[in-house]
Amino acid sequence: MSTVMHAPAPVTDDPLLIAGVEYHSRLLVGTGKYRDMVETLAATEASGAEIVTVAIRRTNIGQNKDEPNLLEVLPPSEYTLLPNTAGCYTAEDAIRTCRLARELLDGHELVKLEVLGDEKTLFPDIMQTLEATAVLVKDGFKVMVYTNDDPIVAKRFEEMGCVAVMPLAAPIGSGLGIRNPYNIRTIVENATVPILVDAGVGTASDAALAMELGCDGVLMNTAIAGARDPVLMASAMKKGIEAGREAFLAGRIPRKRFASASSPIDGTFF
Amino acid sequence: MHIILNGDRQDFPDRLSANELLHTLGLTGKRLALEVNREIVPRSMFDSHIIQPGDQVEIVHAIGGG
């Protein structure tokens, strides 16, 4: 009897659950920094992302009136739009932005809260972020919060009712990768809500590492949009995320200092 | 009347509804959100909400961002 060759069983039933909704992609992407809407759409499709972030800004009055609207290219019927509060340096501005976003998106309550501390690092202002979180959660928003890689603060956001906590890997747009894997691991171990690495990823191996550490997903923008070929990088990130997730679920071998032969010693004829 | 529209001082006729303002700007039917003096004006109120002289009006939409 011949041996049946088995393809590895793909992990099919492993959804990401955020605020009671199941997603099948663990890669979340931003839509900034692309050359045009054509590239935005092509890269977003190649990434396989279901959740995409958008920014809320003033409408152009009397100029570029016919420029394509992002929500026509990435319609809310096909994507879960995640409005962000990028550019906000105070709780007040962030809350105002979320309320405008909710009106803009017909009552949509899922938001990405980020309140920045300074322009050089774009590190989060935790005091302002905590203040905004309290107001937004009370106001019925489902808050996915951008924070630093501090496990104590991450837990606090969870206790306040955030639906996901999103520690940075490194400064926004820096591409430095995961600077503190031990803290990310601790944040993941402590959490009962999804933990997503948000910001700082540079390439596919960074995304894979985040997933191998047990993160539930990764949110990125610059690493894809800023690549020489954004569509190809989007595809690479998709695979990096999937590979990292499967490796995490599979359980890696422990690190050892010395070798361990892969071929048996028994039966050697020399 | 003068209003401050997206940060710029602009002239419009008196007794203008939010809907008429958007129509004048060629924005009817676009997906946007409207704030007057930091209060959101829901889409269902666009017909009845009258813009007052000196109002600070913000019209926003979604754009690419990370």
Q: Which of A65, A112, A142, A239 is catalytic?
A: A112
Select from A40, A59, A225 the Cβ nearest to the Cβ of B27. Answer: A59
Please name the residues between 171 and 190 in chain A that touch chain B, using a CB distance below 8 Å: 172
Residue of A nearest to B30 (CA): A69
Alpha helices in chain A (DSSP H): 37-47, 70-73, 91-104, 126-138, 151-159, 181-190, 204-212, 222-225, 230-250
**Which pLDDT value is given to residue A68?**
78
Average pLDDT (A138-162) is 98
What's the half-sphere exposure (Cβ side, CA atoms, 13 Å) at A117? Answer: 13
Whole-angstrom distance, CA of residue A69 vs CA of residue A83: 15
Q: For A123-159, b where at least 16 C-beta lie within 10 A, e where not — what string?
A: bbbbebbbbbbebbbeeebbbbbbbbbbbebbbbbbe
Subunit contact B60:A99, Cβ cutoff 8 A: no
Which one-letter DSSP state was computed for residue A254?
A: P
Q: Do A84 and B65 touch (CB under 8 A)?
A: yes
Exposed / middle / buried, residue A171 (Cβ in 10 Å: 0-12, 13-18, 19+): middle
Phi–psi pair at A262, nearest 5 degrees: -85, -25
What are the φ and ψ backbone dihedral angles of A110, each rounded to 5 degrees? -80, 120
Judged against a pLDDT cut of 80, whether residue A12 lies above it is answered with: no
Q: Considering only CB atoms, which chain B residues are within 8 Å of A234?
A: none
Query: Residues A228, A236: contact at Cβ < 8 Å?
Result: no
Whether residue B62 and residue A30 make contact (CB cut-off 8 A), yes or no, is: no
**Amino acid making up residue B28:** T
Q: Is the pLDDT of residue A3 over 60?
A: no
Window 205-224 of A: residues touching B by CB (8 A cutoff) are 219-222
Instruction: Please judge whether A96 and B30 are an interchain contact, meaning their C-beta atoms are less than 8 angstroms apart.
Output: no
pLDDT-based confidence at residue A202 (cuts at 50, 70, 90):
very high
Q: What is the pLDDT of residues B19-58, one digit of tens each?
A: 999 999 999 989 999 999 999 999 999 999 999 999 999 9
Q: Is the Cα dihedral A136, A20, A155, A221 positive or negative?
A: negative
Select from B7, B27, B62 the Cβ nearest to the Cβ of A56.
Answer: B62
* Confidence (pLDDT) at A98: 98
Of A70, A81, A86, the CB nearest to B66: A86
Judge: A101–B62 Cβ closer than 8 Å, yes or no: yes
Q: In whole numbers, what is the pLDDT of chain A averaged over residues?
A: 94
What is the ipTM for the molecules in this complex?
Answer: 0.95
